[in-house]
A = this chain, B = another copy of it.
Amino acid sequence: MVALAPSNRLRRTWWSDAVEACGVTGYTVYNKTLLPVVFDSISEDCRHLKSAVQLWDVACERQIQIEGPDADALMQRLTPRDLSRVKPQKCAYVPICDVNGGMLNDPVALQPRPGVWWISLADSDLAYWVEGVAMGGGYAVSVSEPDVQILGLQGPLANDLAAEVFGEETRDIPFFGFKWLPFGSGEVLVARSGYSKQGGFEIYVTDQALAMPLWDHLMDKGQPFDIRAGCPNAIERIEGGMLSYGNDMTRQDTPFEAGLGRYVQRFDCLGGAALRAHQARRQIVPIQLDSAPPTCDREWSLMSGNQRVGRVRSAAWSDEFQCGVAIGMVDMSCAAGDRLVCVTQAGEIAAEIKERFWR
């Protein structure tokens, strides 16, 4: 594998030194920020994630902050999700679309304080879009990118560790709920969310002075829970059908095509007219591969006989399920049970569309 050459253009985080001291072996770049993606190996990292608790540096999930008299109106203009149904102290997954309904980002939005929105980003410079829209529409808002950095605490033992560190009340935080909780001399926002199906929290840190004390404290208190530095895991997230923007869906795809139709609740937003008239051309499906795939670093075609019926852009070998697991985007005519061939750079692999993801 080729090294990632360091550069100031690629932001280090408050925890990059700690992550490197813990032996990170693979980075990706996400929102121009270093994101660890491998420590031991993705299969060993996966096994551990499913059995214990991991501390993740996901500071690459940058925040856009919107505040001002028109903040609510602008937020609703940006997404087809009906934000009036989102309760206080809850996060909301909000597809953001261009005028054609193409996905520009699939962030999580929340109101850390009344009147203030944070958009917690997937990998694109959505701030440019938000500001362009705000400016063009004359919205009375201020848009900024505060330096909020997020620690993930993921795994089946995350609940017990969070209860020990932040108090028993963390057990009562519902899925996608959040609370501000004291830590050290300040407070952090603790949300029950994260990019795994193992359960856990994302901890939004707004003060760098708390960042390493929090890391060290969680590592210390986590020893009995076999805590390790970890990261979003390619195997586990595919098994769980968790999509990756830029991999599984891009701007060429609509929320309907990305399997996110349930979040299209209003059409008075940007892209709303296109979404209302939309006929999905394709669909996200789980793909089982009969043998271990090579590294999925380029798009693979899914063939039905001589016909290309779709693509795969995320794939891995699952030790737990003893098959290749992949996320496919296939024609609407395809259905669960269809046998296909996946054409990789290392040859063809027999594939099947599954009814549901593995977790």
Flag if B2 contacts A4 (CB, 8 Å).
yes
Is A5 positioned at the interface, with any CB of B under 8 Å from its CB?
Answer: yes
Copies in the complex: 2
- Interface residue from B8, B135, B298 paired with A246 (Cβ < 8 Å): B8
Listed stretches A81-89, A123-131, A155-163, A219-227; interface member: A123-131
Listed stretches A25-33, A170-178, A200-208; interface member: A25-33
- With most chain B CB atoms within 10 A of its CB, the pick from A7, A32, A98 is A7
How many Å from the CB of A155 to the closest CB on chain B? 21
Complex CA–CA separation, A263 to B126 (angstroms)? 27
Q: State which residues 305-352 of A face B: CB under 8 Å.
A: 313-314
How many Å from the CB of A11 to the closest CB on chain B? 9
Flag if B28 contacts A2 (CB, 8 Å).
no
A3 contact set on B, CB distance < 8 A = 1-4, 25-27, 38
- Interface residue from B12, B20, B133 paired with A132 (Cβ < 8 Å): B133
Flag if A297 contacts B135 (CB, 8 Å).
no
Flag if B8 contacts A247 (CB, 8 Å).
yes
Is A191 positioned at the interface, with any CB of B under 8 Å from its CB?
Answer: no
Asked, given contacts A98-B131, A129-B131, A136-B135, whether A27 binds B9 with beta carbons under 8 Å apart, the answer is: no
Complex CA–CA separation, A161 to B253 (angstroms)? 43
Q: Which 5 A-B pairs have the closest CB atoms?
A: A136-B136, A132-B132, A6-B297, A9-B246, A125-B125
Chain A contact residues, CB within 8 Å of chain B: 1-10, 12, 20, 24-30, 32, 37-38, 98-99, 104, 123-126, 128-133, 135-137, 244-247, 270, 295-299, 313-314
Listed A/B pairs (5) with beta-carbon separation below 8 Å: A1-B6, A4-B27, A8-B296, A8-B298, A8-B299
